[in-house]
Structure 1
Amino acid sequence: MTNPAPKTPEALFEFFDNLGISHKTTSHEPVFTVAESQSLRDLIPGGHTKNLFVKDKKDQYFVLTVEENAVVDLKTVHKAIGAASKVSFGKPEKMLEYLGVVPGSVTVFGAINDTGNVVTFVLDEALMENELINGHPLSNDATTTLTSKDVLRFLEATGHTPLVLKVSE
């Protein structure tokens, strides 16, 4: 079975609109790392995210969404998230297949493309203390801001029950 073509940022925004989710998107130069995105902090309020696409030995996939400066111990995080083994980074092909994004654009909003519900989305407790949360709208040349409550509503609407856990140190 092949997945449908990945949704576009425009389709994502339409999905938000249909749910009555308020969103604001700021376009910028493509950023591939947290370090590159630091310059946007003054322009965009709220918690900025770092997203890790990982898998365990049983090919269970997870997106760990944490505050941009948070440290995640990949040797022990599997215990917190319920993985079958220590986790490693997922391959770019699987990232594209399941989330519709390429490395540098991993985002919690990729849930809209995970129609087979293969990926478990894990939101760090510390990140969720922010009223506003920022993520890439499926491409790394923009940042979309939602309230933390609406991030949860979005995930539920895509058929994903997010785990809100302490995954950062």
Structure 2
Amino acid sequence: MAKTADDLFKFLHEMGIETETREHPPLFTVDESQTLRGSIPGAHTKNLFLKDKKGRYFLVTVEERAVVDLKTIHQVIGASGRVSFGKEDALMELLGVTPGAVTLFGLINDEDRKVTLVLDEPLMEDEVINGHPLHNRATTSIGRDDLLRFLRATGHDPLVLKVSI
């Protein structure tokens, strides 16, 4: 069974990681989430759940305004051939989230480490990074270095690559 936001916050607390979470109406797109700019500091993320031709999954996380070329990203991230968006059932099975709530915090649910995380280099220049806490009714802010500690604690050593154009 997928972990909940409460499970996520407990895990972060046990690691000594401080976060700040702000609740808001459900947000399904980057455009909708931009209505909150100014009230939540830090980098806001856009997450792409991708699958390659060999069935490998990737979560690519970039800053919300970043542009990604889906026709060539496979060359940068090491995918086998062109990538497509992963299906909703795989998203739920691997990350425990639904479309509109895709988040790098979902990696807490990928206990078998089937998803390769790719963080865009420019995103990692920010000291605070924001993501949904396993649902799209809130935004959680976390320090960049604490985010990396969290990801590694889930068994995901992220690839930090320049994927935006």
TM-score, normalised to structure 2's length? Answer: 0.99
2:112 counterpart SS class: coil
Q: Percent identity?
A: 62
Residue 74 (structure 2) pairs with residue 78 (structure 1): yes
Alignment-derived partner of residue 153 in structure 1: 149
Unaligned runs of 5+ in 2: none
Residue from 3, 24, 35 that aligns with 1:39: 35
Letter in 1 for 2:80: A
Question: Offset at 1:103?
Answer: 0.3
Unaligned runs of 5+ in 1: none
Residue 42 (structure 2) pairs with residue 50 (structure 1): no
Alignment-derived partner of residue 136 in structure 2: 140
Residue from 15, 18, 24 that aligns with 1:19: 15
Question: Offset at 1:151?
Answer: 1.1
2:129 counterpart SS class: strand
2:50 counterpart SS class: strand
Within-5 A mapping of 1:116-131? 116-131=112-127
Alignment-derived partner of residue 65 in structure 1: 61
Residue 118 (structure 2) pairs with residue 110 (structure 1): no
Superposed CA deviations along residues 89-115 of structure 1, whole A, max 9, x for unmatched, are: 000000000000000000000000001
Letter in 1 for 2:29: T
Alignment-derived partner of residue 2 in structure 2: 6
Question: Offset at 1:144?
Answer: 0.3
TM-score, normalised to structure 1's length? Answer: 0.97
Letter in 2 for 1:108: L
Q: Distance in 2 between matches of 1:114 and 1:132?
A: 23
Letter in 2 for 1:74: L
Instruction: Report the number of matched residues.
Output: 165
